[in-house]
Amino acid sequence: MSAASTITVDGKQISLPVKSGTIGPDVVDIGKLYAQTGAFTFDPGFTSTASCESRITYIDGDEGVLLYRGYPIEQLAEQGDFLETCYLMLFGELPTPGQKADFDYRVTRHTMVHDQMNRFFTGFRRDAHPMAVMVASVGALSAFYHDSTDITDESQRMIASMRMIAKMPTLAAMAYKYSIGQPFVYPKNDLDYTSNFLRMCYAVPCEEYQINPIFAKALDKIFILHADHEQNASTSTVRLAGSSGANPFACIAAGVACLWGPAHGGANEAALKMLMEIGTPDRVDQYVAKAKDKNDPFRLMGFGHRVYKNYDPRARIMQKTTHEVLKELGKHDDPLLEVAMKLEEIALKDEYFIEKKLYPNIDFYSGITLKAMGFPTDMFTVLFAVARTVGWIAQWAEMIEDPSQKIGRPRQLYVGPTKRDYVGINDRG
């Protein structure tokens, strides 16, 4: 605990404790502010507000640093695999070889979903957005797995966590297959997590599916990059939903819903659509001008970040992965990549973007890579949700296990009408 801070409200001065973490900004603990001053803090969008203590992910936005349980994202992405990151997220340490083998075995054997989920899917229109299907089907898991919805039971919490991590790829692949009118493909236990997902998406009953190891490695890396990101909008949604005691499947469904927004996880789909709309490098300047025009709501999707005021470290790794995938495909001159590189080059030199510290974020390159791998744009955020599920679950578990945890219930600054009496309808003007 560092020195206290003082604040004066309506002439009354009070002292508020300042708490320090292991790294990163201190926090002023305002828990007693209202009781001692009768005033609330006011911070819409939570630009200066820490909502919790956490040991999972650390971001230094000025330095472009991202650590999962203290390990740099660059090292985890280059040297590990996604299920290793999942183990690290859930248990706080990198697994031993035996722990990794056991964890992989257990996740693999939770990848099937209750077969009645197939009938659940047939209620959707084929052209439903896959994220709409994911919001519904993830929430529906709580209608099938009653033996892992008691959040007070540690063993049930762990089973629910394994089920969520394991079943998200299966549901995602089912959403994709359903949208293209192809039969669902069941998971295979002899495949690794990401290869299993690729096969469930792209295999057809008529022939054996050959997994491209470059694609599997690239997608596994993309999953690692998207696994967690401290208290972003969808993670905060999961924590708030969980604070009421809602079951984990319902909380993750709430996270999926929040992630869908174009300002958040929907930006990868929006960024690719923007690149496709720009179409050619010679049209980039006019779109940069639109993004700078205060009277034009257009924003460069895939640019800017609430926390990163430097290059998003995930975007750098993503850019490298994009080139690897395109090289594998022999697509050295993908027009979308040319547009993206031109856009990045211009934006990073433009005074507007420099002054506002707007850099490419993880969504800027991910869409190009996923499109090159054959995913339709409306599946991009679904893949983000598959990866982020482990972060949501780890943060949810951390919140549930926090002895000081209580239901989240913010207050407000009321600016509506003062008290007034009802007027009968016949007496209204």
Residues marked active site are found at 305, 363
Closest C-alpha among 22, 391, 58 to residue 236: 391
Minimum CB distance to ligand SDX smaller for 103 or for 353: 353
- Return the SS3 of 67: strand
Contacting residues for 75 by C-beta, under 8 A, at least 6 apart: none
| By the rule CB under 6 A, 232 interacts with ligand SDX | yes
DSSP secondary-structure letter at 183?
P
Q: Dihedral of the CA atoms 21, 235, 112, 177 (nearest 10)? A: -140
- Return the SS3 of 165: helix
| By the rule CB under 6 A, 301 interacts with ligand SDX | yes
Per CB under 6 A, the list member of 139, 302, 313, 367 interacting with ligand SDX is 302
Minimum CB distance to ligand SDX smaller for 40 or for 352: 352
| By the rule CB under 6 A, 291 interacts with ligand SDX | yes
Task: Give min distance, CB of 361 to ligand SDX, in A.
Answer: 4
Contacting residues for 427 by C-beta, under 8 A, at least 6 apart: none
Task: Give min distance, CB of 11 to ligand SDX, in A.
Answer: 33
- For helices 267-278 and 335-349, the axis angle rounded to 10 degrees is 100
Task: Give min distance, CB of 43 to ligand SDX, in A.
Answer: 12
Per CB under 6 A, the list member of 165, 227, 300, 394 interacting with ligand SDX is 300
Which range binds ligand SDX by CB under 6 A, 19-27, 181-189, 200-208, 259-267? Answer: 259-267
Asked if residue 265 lies in contact with residue 362, where contact means CB atoms within 8 angstroms, the answer is no
Closest C-alpha among 147, 141, 93 to residue 120: 141
Please give the structure tokens belonging to residue 343: 């856009």
Total chain residues near ligand SDX (CB under 6 A)? 22
Per CB under 6 A, the list member of 188, 273, 306, 331 interacting with ligand SDX is 306
Minimum CB distance to ligand SDX smaller for 56 or for 291: 291
SS percent in the chain: helix, strand, coil, step 5: 55, 5, 40
Query: Where in 132-171 is the site for ligand SDX (CB under 6 A)?
Result: none
Site string for ligand SDX, 212-231 (x = CB under 6 A): -----------------x--
The span from the CA of 163 to the CA of 110, in Å, is 6
Per CB under 6 A, the list member of 220, 269, 344, 363 interacting with ligand SDX is 363
Report the residue number whose CB is nearest to ligand SDX: 304
Could you tell me how far CA 154 lies from the centroid of its own chain? 25
| By the rule CB under 6 A, 361 interacts with ligand SDX | yes
Cβ neighbours, 10 Å, residue 230: 20
| By the rule CB under 6 A, 62 interacts with ligand SDX | no
Per CB under 6 A, the list member of 114, 146, 327, 356 interacting with ligand SDX is 356
Minimum CB distance to ligand SDX smaller for 17 or for 61: 61
Cβ neighbours, 10 Å, residue 38: 10
Write out the residues near ligand SDX by the rule CB under 6 A: 45, 229, 232, 263-265, 267, 291, 299-307, 356, 358, 361-363
